């Protein structure tokens, strides 16, 4: 088999060149598959095939509401548990006699029922919601200047009592915090605002399941440099202390056939991988903390790599593809 080497990739690592060629191959196979399904006399063939691939790719639940498999956390032990000291005390805060006379109906419910209720109100806010809060709070101060961050507050459910806080945090730690958009980008600045303007550093360091959805190839000049700066910002916040059990990096690959864009983007792609590898080696709590998933975007479809015949789903999708760098520029 003769391997094609594109001239514009000669300055990159061999692994990167092979991976780029794999993305192009996946794009071609995906396009051919969609074309064949579209030619079928049965008009429902395309939708049926897409539904089959959709069932194989991801559960149809928003990522920030998706519970995680706790086997990895149990194997890791208590090293990843970072809670305030007063919440780690499992002893009841009041005497049994006082608990019986307590008029709090919620606490009289079985724990299983309370956990079902927490499912509806305990989760990390989507990135879009965090950033919208910033815009809604941008009112000029007395000197006419605007603030550069967002006013952060603790949700009420974590302020009610020790027991509710402990139970709610237990549920929150099984959620996935998803960052799928870049923070707001102020006019005249070379980079978007730091992530800690929107989520406190201590909160980010207590996240156990983090998912970054990084986009390459968006815009006329690509988007890798912007996402690289955001990922570096996040990793630097997690470097001093973190509780990460799984850091999933979902990479969206746009317009893979445009050479002048990817000559530049692949450089940032290599830098991104290097940053993640270094962080995992120095600060990861266990091996294989960082997990990757690649999707080649070819509107109106997306093809997942890693398979001989790619998984195919529609793009955009409000669950898997909720954000774009172009929405924040």
Per-residue pLDDT of the chain (329 residues; tens, 9 = 90+): 334 445 556 678 889 999 999 999 999 999 999 999 998 888 888 888 888 887 776 555 555 555 555 454 444 444 334 444 444 444 344 444 444 445 677 788 888 888 888 878 888 888 888 887 776 665 555 555 555 555 666 676 777 778 888 888 888 888 899 998 888 887 778 888 888 888 888 889 999 999 999 999 988 888 999 999 999 999 999 999 999 999 999 999 999 989 889 999 999 999 999 999 999 999 998 889 999 999 999 988 999 998 888 989 888 876 655 544 433 33
Q: Is residue 25 part of a domain?
A: yes
The structure's pTM equals 0.78
Taking the chain, what is the end-to-end CA distance rounded to the nearest angstrom? 44
- Bridge partners (DSSP) of residue 216 are 253
Q: Is residue 296 part of a domain?
A: yes
Q: Is 253 helix (H, G, I), strand (E, B) or coil?
A: strand
- What number of H helices and E strands is found in the chain? 12, 6
Q: Is residue 86 part of a domain?
A: no
Q: Tally the domains of the chain.
A: 1
Give the domain range for residue 312: 7-78+102-138+163-324
Q: Is residue 145 part of a domain?
A: no
Q: Measure the CA–CA gap between 127 and 239, rounded to whole angstroms.
A: 21
Q: Is residue 179 part of a domain?
A: yes
Are 51 and 311 spatial neighbours (Cβ–Cβ below 8 Å)? no
Q: Is residue 144 part of a domain?
A: no
Closest CA to 252 of 295, 210, 222: 295
Q: What is the pairing mode between strands 209-216 and 246-254?
A: parallel
Q: Measure the CA–CA gap between 108 and 99, rounded to whole angstroms.
A: 9
Q: Is residue 61 part of a domain?
A: yes
Q: Is residue 43 part of a domain?
A: yes
CA angle 260, 263, 265 (to 5 degrees): 105
């Amino acid at each position: 088999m003769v391997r094609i080497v594109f001239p514009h990739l000669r300055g990159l690592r061999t692994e990167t060149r092979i991976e780029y060629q794999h993305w192009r191959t996946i794009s071609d196979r995906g396009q051919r598959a969609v074309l064949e399904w579209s030619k079928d006399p049965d008009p429902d063939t395309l939708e049926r095939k897409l539904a089959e691939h959709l069932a194989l790719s991801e559960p149809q639940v928003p990522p920030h509401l998706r519970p995680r498999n706790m086997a990895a956390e149990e194997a890791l032990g208590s090293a990843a548990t970072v809670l305030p000291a007063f919440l780690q005390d499992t002893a009841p805060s009041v005497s049994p006699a006082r608990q019986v006379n307590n008029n709090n109906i919620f606490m009289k419910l079985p724990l299983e029922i309370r956990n079902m209720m927490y499912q509806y109100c305990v989760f990390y806010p989507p990135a879009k919601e965090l950033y919208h809060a910033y815009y809604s709070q941008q009112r000029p101060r007395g000197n006419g200047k605007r603030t550069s961050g967002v006013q952060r507050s603790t949700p009420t459910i974590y302020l009610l009592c020790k027991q509710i806080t402990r139970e709610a945090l237990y549920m929150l730690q099984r959620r996935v915090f998803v960052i799928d958009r870049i923070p707001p980008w102020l006019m005249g600045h070379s980079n978007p605002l730091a992530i800690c303007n929107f989520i406190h550093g201590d909160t980010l360091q207590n996240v156990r399941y983090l998912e970054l959805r990084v986009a390459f190839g968006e815009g006329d000049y690509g988007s890798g440099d912007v996402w690289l700066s955001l990922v570096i910002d996040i990793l630097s916040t997690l470097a001093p202390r973190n509780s990460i059990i799984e850091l999933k990096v979902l990479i969206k690959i746009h317009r893979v056939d445009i050479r002048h864009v990817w000559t530049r983007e692949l450089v940032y792609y290599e830098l991104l991988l290097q940053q993640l590898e270094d962080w995992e080696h120095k600060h990861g709590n266990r091996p294989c903390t960082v997990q990757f998933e690649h999707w080649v975007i070819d509107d109106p479809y997306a093809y997942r790599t890693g398979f001989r015949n790619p998984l195919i789903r529609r793009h955009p999708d409000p669950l898997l593809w909720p954000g774009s760098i172009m929405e924040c520029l």
